[in-house]
């Protein structure tokens, strides 16, 4: 099985990725499919901005605009931001704790394929009679009245991909609890691993309410249940509660890993230990905890009463405290550091003021009486784009540059990266800053057009120009990726030169077993400690070289997910009285449960990489490293 | 892991379910899954309480008029007993007594099937009274909560049966011991949820 260095045919590579259980390859799958959906969501955003470019525009019809707007939000949150962050979690956090794989490699693969098929199912709505059109929040009072199957694509697609995310969350929790290398105590874990851990706990507790809410939606629309139908005794507010009990923690599921990526970047490129590591850890935990107690601030205008509004307003303001702690810790990490302004560091520095702006408008909305004024206006749109783009997307772009060498063994161009940054950063502020004022001027969100006499023309035009800038930035990034792949200039273990954590102590990309010998962790930033003590070998080890147990690849996760994908079509067309609907539903479920049964009954004990193979593989790695040294020096400086 | 390694009660570890890394991972992962399941059922209970007795104007059904305690009490006793028999099964698993474990698991499965039969009878009875799934918000919430529990019972029974048949010939080893343990853990969880259903839906329903 030391065949990972051999060249493989195209078909064999495809089969390898369809059956892989290796967290590093699954990370690549997440990055590619998340990146693809990011482009789809980006095109939808451009359509929105073209439509709103001038007053009374008729580029999109009102109905199509609703679909584009709904799919933009849904795609970006569920199919782009979360999967790309899961890509980094998969690629990096097992390496950061010195593990050879995640706790459940099979489930890791299953989680990916569920997400993938859910995303494909949701987007097929464009070709099968129309996309969902009730907004990404899909409020029941709107969604129940929506004709066609758009809403059903939303419900069933998100159910499937939601299961995938839940599985991924459990997997990371168990991996981090059980599989840390000797010496890697909780308070020595890198911040990115910590944020992965807390975000996974949020996934674990936040996704079930969403799944329950969505099931109610499915049952109401397809099987005649009455959860939200007021004439039958139902209550439409139940959906809003479940959606936001999930939806608010979701914000932290996205932004905590983003914080983690930036924490790594600040430490690496300031060449300093993180300032206030302990405070950062506890702030992360506190944010996760408070994240569950603030959901009703999305519902101030629903009429829950002054007491409920006051409680949720206070809880919301409290969240700003741990977030503020983090901001100051990052600033003090930079302070007095030996800073190098690489592309990831530029993103990180730009993130601080951008995210603080989003946080400040968030605290403004926490003031319930003020929220009555701001609610459903463009001020809200501006606020959450400052948080999501200024926090999460900047982190995704920074993380792509930072971890690209570890995932692929090559460096993205710094020069093109800076071009991307400036176009994206200027475009981002141009698009969204002015939307605060549009909101204050009274422009409601989710309208497909506006009148020439309303005075919103100029600001909307400026906003659309900003969107164009962001699109140019993303296109330059794509060019950068293509050029980097084409050039294929290999880099060594620590291409940034200042890596601090375990992932930088092993080759880029790492061998499939990650660590030939499990490292011994002697403190926070273990690789940095070894470097400072002049350890030429890289690390000290916790075990002698010996056989390594690894899991077998499997095609079953793909089949399980495919079965759910098929069953969803049956469920969806059930209400149209199509004769084939029920057999398809049952057949799909039979595929899913049948393949689960096969998985359960068939022994799968994995295989061993022998000591001899490890020695041979290590010689290959050494040889390649020497070839790299002989050529030009890899990485920066 | 060597499947052919033979154990005796003397060489069998005290906690075979967590004696290997795979076992430990499954143990922790399964408890976390149960946390997610708890949130799922909490959501279903909250919905049920919000929609209890709610329906179109003039609806004839109410929890107080519909539910009858004797049948549900019998179901509760059967399921509680099955939880006890699954404890005996795991007790024998830990003592490496495969035959006794299989026997107690068999009894557990029979009790579970009896519970399931009574539940089907109960649902059938309500439907014949006109209290169908689409009758009202109350009926939708009731069937979804209790039915989700019933689906868990079906899954738990299928799991037990699959494990018993699969391992009937080869006995206990370190590979399947965690599987038996987790199936039993799942069964306890189902039992705990039922205790809440019995209390919240039936007892509080009949009291009014």
Of B140, B35, B189, B193, which Cα lies nearest the Cα of A215?
Answer: B140
pLDDT at A631 over 70: no
Give CA–CA dist A400/A383, Å, rounded. 25
Query: Nearest to residue B1, comparing CAs of A550, A597, A519, A542?
Result: A550
The two tokens of residue A455 are 């005075």
Euclidean distance between CA atoms B168 and A586, whole angstroms = 30
Average pLDDT in chain A: 94
CB contact under 8 A, A173 and B32: yes
CA distance A206 to chain B (A): 8
Q: Which of B156, B151, B153, B203 is CA-nearest to residue B184?
A: B156
Residues of chain A with pLDDT > 90: what percent?
91
Contacts with A472 (C-beta within 8 Å, 6 or more apart), sequence order = A423, A427
- Determine contact: B52 vs chain A, CB below 8 A: no
CB-CB neighbors (< 8 A) of B40 in chain A: 208-209, 211-212
Query: Pick from A418, A429, A420: which is nearest to A341 by CA?
Result: A418
Furthest C-alpha separation in chain A = 78
Q: Which domain holds residue B99?
A: 16-51+74-207
- Judge whether B55 is closer than 8 Å to chain A, CB to CB: yes
pLDDT number for residue A21:
95
Q: How far is Cα A251 from Cα A78, in angstroms, rounded to an integer?
A: 11
3-state helix, strand, coil split of chain A in percent (to 5) is 70, 0, 25
Q: What is the distance between the alpha carbons of residues A344 and A346, in angstroms, rounded to a whole number?
A: 6
C-alpha distance from A293 to closest chain B C-alpha (Å) = 15
Nearest chain B residue to A178 by CA: give it: B25
Q: Which of B20, B45, B47 to mutate to test the interface with A (most CBs of A within 10 A)?
A: B47
Residue A607 burial (CB count, 10 A)? 12
B32 to chain A, any CB pair closer than 8 A? The answer is: yes
CA A483, distance to chain mean position in Å, is 25
| pLDDT given for residue A265 in this prediction | 97
Q: What is the mean pLDDT of residues A550-558?
A: 95
Q: Do A170 and B29 touch (CB under 8 A)?
A: yes
Higher pLDDT, A576 or A46: A46
Q: Is B195 on the interface with A (CB under 8 A)?
A: no
Interface test with A, best of B21, B30, B32, B171 (most A CBs within 10 A): B32
Domain A3-497, classified CATH 1.20.210.10, yes or no: yes
Q: Which residues of chain A lie closer than 8 angstroms to B138, CB-CB?
A: 233
pLDDT given for residue A6 in this prediction: 54
In tens, the pLDDT along B73-97 reads: 999 999 999 999 999 999 999 999 9
Tokens of A210: 């969403």
Q: Is the pLDDT of residue A5 over 70?
A: no
> What's the pLDDT band for A624 if we cut at 50, 70, 90?
confident
The DSSP line for B146-173 is HHHHHHHHHHHHHHHHHHHHHTTTT---
Provide the pLDDT confidence category of residue A232 given band limits of 50, 70 and 90.
very high
Q: How confident is the model at residue A636 (pLDDT cuts 50, 70, 90)?
A: very low
| Structural domain includes residue B32 | yes
d(CA B138, CA B148): 15
Contacts of B45 (CB under 8 A, 6+ apart): B145, B196, B200
- DSSP secondary structure string for all residues of A205-232: HHHHHHHHHHHHHHHHHHS---SS-GGG
Q: At what angle are helices A237-270 and B21-51 packed, to 10 degrees? A: 140
**Which of left, alpha, beta for B123 (phi over 0: left; psi -120 to 50: alpha)?**
alpha
Best of B63, B134, B143, B149 to disrupt the A interface (most A CBs within 10 Å) is B134
Check if A205 contacts B (Cβ < 8 Å).
Answer: yes
Give the pLDDT confidence score for residue A7 in this predicted structure. Answer: 64
Q: How far is A102 from chain B (nearest CA, A)?
A: 10
Q: What is the mean pLDDT of residues A560-587?
A: 92
Number of domains in chain B: 1
Whether the predicted pLDDT of A79 surpasses 50: yes
Weakest mean pLDDT among A390-404, A429-443, A569-583: A569-583
Structure confidence at residue A634 (pLDDT): 46
- Residue A1 pLDDT exceeds 50: no
Output the domain CATH number for residue B150.
Answer: 1.20.120.80
Partner B contacted by A223 (CB < 8 A): yes
Cross-chain Cβ contact A170/B55 below 8 Å: no
B144 lies within 8 A of chain A by CB: yes
* pLDDT of residue A334 exceeding 60: yes
Question: How many beta-carbon pairs below 8 A join chains A and B?
Answer: 111
Most B CBs within 10 Å, among A108, A159, A171, A226, to test the B interface: A226
Cα–Cα dist A219/A230, whole Å: 15
Token pair 């919430």: residue: B141
Q: Indicate whether A632 pLDDT > 60.
A: no
Listing DSSP states for A159-174 in one string gives HHHHHHHHHHHHHHHH
> Which residues of chain B lie closer than 8 angstroms to A224, CB-CB?
133-134
The answer for A 462-501 residues in CB contact with B (under 8 A) is none
Mean pLDDT of A595-622: 91
pLDDT tens, residue by residue, B125-184: 999 999 999 999 999 999 999 999 999 999 999 999 999 999 999 889 999 999 999 999
Identity of the residue in A205, A213, A235 whose CB atom sits nearest the CB atom of B50: A235
- The neighbouring-strand residues paired with A410 are A490
Model pLDDT, residue B1: 66
Question: Span A425-450, mean pLDDT?
Answer: 96
Q: Is residue B156 part of a domain?
A: yes
Give the pLDDT of residue A379: 97
Q: Is the pLDDT of residue A637 over 60?
A: no
- Contact with chain B for residue A55, Cβ under 8 A: no
What pLDDT score does A274 carry? 96
Whether B1 has its CB under 8 Å from any CB of chain A: the answer is yes
Residue among A429, A431, A399, A422 nearest A472 (CA): A422
Angle subtended by helix axes A62-74 and A23-51, to nearest 10 = 150
Point out the residue among B35, B162, B175 whose CB comes nearest to the CB of A597.
B162
- Inspect the interface and report whether the beta carbons of A216 and B47 lie closer than 8 Å: yes
- Pick from A36-50, A99-113, A511-525, B6-20: least confident: B6-20
* Residues across chain B: 208
Chain A residue closest in CA terms to B166: A601
A3: pLDDT strictly greater than 60 = no
Q: Looking at the complex, does the CB of residue B40 fall below 8 Å from at least one CB of chain A?
A: yes
State the pLDDT at residue A628: 82
**DSSP label of B200:** I
Residue A61: strand, helix, or coil = coil
Flag whether residue B37 sits within 8 Å of chain A, measured between CB atoms.
Answer: yes
B36 touches chain A (CB under 8 A): yes
Of B24, B44, B163, the CB nearest to A178: B24
Query: Are B133 and A224 inside 8 Å of each other by CB?
Result: yes
Q: Chain A: nearest CA to B127, how far in angstroms? A: 14
Closest chain B residue to the Cα of A229, Cα to Cα: B137
Across the interface, whether the CB atoms of A242 and B43 are under 8 A apart is answered yes
Contacts of A238 in chain B (CB under 8 A): 47, 50-51
Query: Could you tell me which residues come within 8 angstroms of residue A88 by beta carbon, excluding any fewer than 6 positions away?
Result: A27, A192, A257, A261, A399, A403
Structural domain spans, chain A: 3-497
In chain B, residues with a C-beta closer than 8 Å to the C-beta of A600 are: 159, 162-163, 166, 179
Q: How far apart are CA A46 and CA A43, in angstroms?
A: 5
Q: Is A234 close to B137, i.e. CB distance below 8 A? A: yes
pLDDT in tens, B176-202: 999 999 999 999 999 999 999 999 999
Does residue A295 surpass a pLDDT of 90?
yes
Does any CB of chain B come closer than 8 Å to the CB of residue A46? no
Nearest to A225 among B40, B50, B134 (CB): B134
Contact between residue A139 and residue A236 where contact means Cβ atoms under 8 Å apart: yes
Pairing, β A548-550 against β A607-609 = antiparallel
Q: At what angle do helices B98-128 and B137-166 cross, to 10 degrees?
A: 160
Instruction: With beta carbons less than 8 A apart as the criterion, state whether A121 and A160 touch.
Output: yes
- Please state the pTM of the whole predicted model: 0.95
CA distance A362 to A316: 9
Q: Does B171 touch chain A (CB under 8 A)?
A: no
CA A241, distance to chain mean position in Å, is 23
Dig out the tokens for A119 from the structure.
Answer: 């995303």
**Distance between terminal CA atoms of chain B?**
57
């Amino acid at each position: 099985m030391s065949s990972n260095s051999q060249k493989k045919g195209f078909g064999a590579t495809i089969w390898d990725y369809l059956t892989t259980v290796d967290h590093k390859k699954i990370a690549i799958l997440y990055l590619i499919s998340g990146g693809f959906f990011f482009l789809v969501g980006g095109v939808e955003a451009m359509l929105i901005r073209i439509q709103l470019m001038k007053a009374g525009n008729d580029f999109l019809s009102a109905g199509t605009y609703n679909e584009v707007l709904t799919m933009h939000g849904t795609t970006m949150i569920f199919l782009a931001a979360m999967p790309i962050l899961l890509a980094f979690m998969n690629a990096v956090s097992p390496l950061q704790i010195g593990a050879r794989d995640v706790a459940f490699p099979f489930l890791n693969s299953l989680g990916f394929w569920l997400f993938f098929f859910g995303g494909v199912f949701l987007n097929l709505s464009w070709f099968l009679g129309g996309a969902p059109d009730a907004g990404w929040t899909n409020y029941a009072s709107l969604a129940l009245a929506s004709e066609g199957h758009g809403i059903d694509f939303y419900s069933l697609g998100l159910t499937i991909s939601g299961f995938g995310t839940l599985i991924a969350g459990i997997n990371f929790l168990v991996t981090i609890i059980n599989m840390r290398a000797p010496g890697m105590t909780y308070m020595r874990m890198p911040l990115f691993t910590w944020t992965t851990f807390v975000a996974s706990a949020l996934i674990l507790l936040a996704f079930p309410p969403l799944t329950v809410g969505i099931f109610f939606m499915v049952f109401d629309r397809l099987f005649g249940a009455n959860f939200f139908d007021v004439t039958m005794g139902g209550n439409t507010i139940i959906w809003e509660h479940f959606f936001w009990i999930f939806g608010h923690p979701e914000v932290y599921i996205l932004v905590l890993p983003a914080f983690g990526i930036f924490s790594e970047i600040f430490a690496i490129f300031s060449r300093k230990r993180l300032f206030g590591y302990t405070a950062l850890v506890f702030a992360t935990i506190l944010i996760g905890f408070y994240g569950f107690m603030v959901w009703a601030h999305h519902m101030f205008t629903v009429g829950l009463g002054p007491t409920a509004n006051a409680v949720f307003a206070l809880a919301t303001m409290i969240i700003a405290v741990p977030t503020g702690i983090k901001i100051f810790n990052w600033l003090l990490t930079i302070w007095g550091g030996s800073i190098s302004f690489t592309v990831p560091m530029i993103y990180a520095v730009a993130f601080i003021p951008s995210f603080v702006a989003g946080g400040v408008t968030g605290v403004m909305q926490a003031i319930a009486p003020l929220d009555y004024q701001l609610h459903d206006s463009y001020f809200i749109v501006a606020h959450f784009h400052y948080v999501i783009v200024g926090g999460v997307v900047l982190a995704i772009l920074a993380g792509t540059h930072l971890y690209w060498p570890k995932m692929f063994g090559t460096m993205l161009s710094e020069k093109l990266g800076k071009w991307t940054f400036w176009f994206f950063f200027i475009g981002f502020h141009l698009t969204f800053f002015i939307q605060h004022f549009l909101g204050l001027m009274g422009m409601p969100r989710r309208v497909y057009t506006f009148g020439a006499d309303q005075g919103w023309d100029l600001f909307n035009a400026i906003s659309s120009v900003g969107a164009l800038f962001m699109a140019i930035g993303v296109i330059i990034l794509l060019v950068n990726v293509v050029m980097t792949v084409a050039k294929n200039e290999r880099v060594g273990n620590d291409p940034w030169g200042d890596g601090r954590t375990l992932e930088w102590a092993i080759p880029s990309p790492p061998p499939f077993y990650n660590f030939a010998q499990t490292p011994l962790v002697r403190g926070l930033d273990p690789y940095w400690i070894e470097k400072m003590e002049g350890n030429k070998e890289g690390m000290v080890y916790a075990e002698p070289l010996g056989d390594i147990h690894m899991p077998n690849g499997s095609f079953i996760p793909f089949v399980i997910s495919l079965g759910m994908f098929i069953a969803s079509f049956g469920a969806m067309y059930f209400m149209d009285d199509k004769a084939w609907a029920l057999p398809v539903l049952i057949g799909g479920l039979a595929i899913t449960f049948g393949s689960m049964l096969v998985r359960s009954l068939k022994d799968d004990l994995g295989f061993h990489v022998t000591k001899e193979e490890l020695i041979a593989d290590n010689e290959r790695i050494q040889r390649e490293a020497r070839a790299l040294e002989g050529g030009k020096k890899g990485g920066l400086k | 892991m060597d499947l052919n390694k033979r154990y005796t009660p003397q060489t069998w570890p005290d906690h075979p379910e967590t004696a290997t890394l795979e076992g430990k991972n499954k143990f922790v992962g399964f408890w976390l899954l149960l946390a997610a399941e708890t949130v799922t059922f909490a959501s279903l209970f909250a919905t049920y309480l919000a929609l209890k007795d709610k329906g179109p104007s003039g609806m004839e059904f109410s929890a107080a008029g519909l539910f009858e305690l004797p049948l549900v009490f019998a179901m509760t006793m059967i399921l509680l007993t099955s939880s006890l028999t699954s404890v005996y099964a795991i007790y024998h698993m830990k003592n490496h007594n495969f035959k006794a474990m299989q026997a107690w698991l068999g009894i557990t499965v029979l009790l579970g099937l009896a519970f399931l039969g009574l539940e089907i009878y109960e649902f059938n009875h309500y439907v014949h009274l006109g209290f169908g799934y689409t009758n009202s918000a109350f009926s939708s919430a009731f069937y979804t909560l209790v039915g989700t529990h019933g689906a868990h019972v079906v899954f738990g029974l299928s799991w037990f049966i699959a494990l018993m048949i699969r391992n009937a010939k080869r006995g206990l080893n370190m590979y399947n011991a965690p599987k038996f343990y987790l199936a039993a853990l799942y069964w306890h969880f189902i039992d705990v949820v039922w205790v809440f259903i019995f209390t919240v839906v039936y007892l509080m329903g009949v009291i009014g």
